[in-house]
Amino acid sequence: MRCYVPPSNWQPDELALPPDEVHHLHTVMRERIGATVVAFDGEGRSAECEIVELDRRRARLRVLQQHIQPRPVPELILLQGIPREQKMDWVIQKATELGALAIRPVQTDHAVVRLREDNEEAKRERWQRIALNAAKQCGANWVPVVDPARPLLSCLSEMPPVDLLLVCSLEPDAQPLREALHAARDMRPRSVAALVGPEGDFSARERAAARNAGGRAVRLGESILRSETAALFVLSVLSYELGGTP
């Protein structure tokens, strides 16, 4: 079993679990003192631990052996146009499994979904919990940071520079993804961002903003993929072709 310990709570010899993890360990999994579990902090650090105290309110783990996983290279960043229904939950879960280190939900001109301003932070917290749970289940030691949803143009203008920005496009003159990645191998990018649109695709002004931000328009094949399928496809290809590992 894997337990999450926030980086600020990490200690070299003994770890105290946060309340949610205590409940899961004690009440859901019904673990016992003396059992062995794995703790991780979501920033590359993990440890094999022994449970030395456990009740409904507290859980303490003795660290047996620590491990450090370096930050994956290249850093994979997903800029995702928010799809409708619960598809964004699925995208965040799968992006975590595929090794994304940052997920930036973006509001676009043609999107069907519109988040209420008074619900944005609650939505972000929920998405962050989905990413954490996905990392726990798949064994990833790096948990992606899920940003608050923002308008795409603001996100593009204010985000830190990346070595390669790929814009998944339906435009007929978009470069095949295979060709774009073949050219990128020689530059050995340390950060790669993929921009995936919603069901309604990008508007003309959004495509122009992506080009001005250095984005390369790429097509993902002959079929028109759903937004959530495109995100899964492009992250899988990036992880495989450029060496990023979850």
Do 182 and 112 share a structural domain? yes
CB proximity list for 44: less than 8 A, separation 6 or greater: 68, 69, 70, 71, 141, 142
Give the pLDDT of residue 118.
67
Query: pLDDT tier at 171 (50, 70, 90 boundaries)?
Result: confident
Tell me the pLDDT tens digit for each residue of 46-80.
999 999 999 999 999 999 999 999 999 999 999 99
* Cα–Cα dist 227/199, whole Å: 6
Tell me the C-alpha to C-alpha distance, in Å, between residue 7 and each of 39, 143, 222: 11, 12, 44
CATH number of 26's domain: 2.40.240.20
Helical segments of 119-220, H only: 120-138, 152-158, 177-187, 204-212
Question: What range defines the domain where residue 45 resides?
Answer: 2-68
| 51 and 163, same domain (yes or no) | no
Judge if 160 and 233 occupy the same domain. Answer: yes
Residue-level pLDDT at 182: 87
Residue 1 · residue 25 · CB < 8 Å = yes
Q: Domain holding 147: CATH number?
A: 3.40.1280.10
Which structure tokens are listed for 200? Answer: 């309604």
Nearest to 132 by CA among 239, 3, 19, 234: 3
Domain boundary among 34, 49, 68: 68
pLDDT reported for residue 113: 67
Same domain, 228 and 130: yes
Q: Are residues 54 and 114 in the same domain?
A: no
* Two structure tokens written together for 65: 């052996």
- Claim to verify: residue 96 and residue 197 sit in the same structural domain: yes
Residues 28 and 49 in one domain: yes
Number of domains in the chain: 2
Q: What is the pLDDT of residue 246?
A: 41
- Assess whether 209 and 153 both reside in one domain: yes
pLDDT digits (tens, 9 = 90+) for 222-232: 889 999 999 99
> How far does CA 18 lie from the centroid of its chain?
22
pLDDT at 208: 94
Question: Which of 68, 87, 116 is the C-terminal boundary of a domain?
Answer: 68
Say if residue 94 is in the same domain as residue 171: yes
Q: Report pLDDT for 92.
A: 97
Task: Say whether both 168 and 195 belong to one domain.
Answer: yes
Q: Are residues 89 and 209 in the same domain?
A: yes
Q: Which of 50-59, 97-106, 182-191, 215-224 has the lowest mean pLDDT?
A: 182-191
Contact present, 38 and 140 (Cβ < 8 Å):
no
pTM for the predicted model, two decimal places: 0.91
- Using DSSP's 3-state secondary structure scheme, residue 198 falls into coil
Out of 24, 47, 68, pick the residue that ends a domain: 68
Find out whether 59 and 9 touch, Cβ atoms under 8 Å: no
Give yes or no: residues 92 and 163 share one domain: yes
* Number of C-beta neighbours around residue 142 at 10 A: 23
Give the angle 216-235-145 at the CA atoms, nearest 5°: 100
Do 231 and 196 form a contact (C-beta atoms < 8 A)?
yes
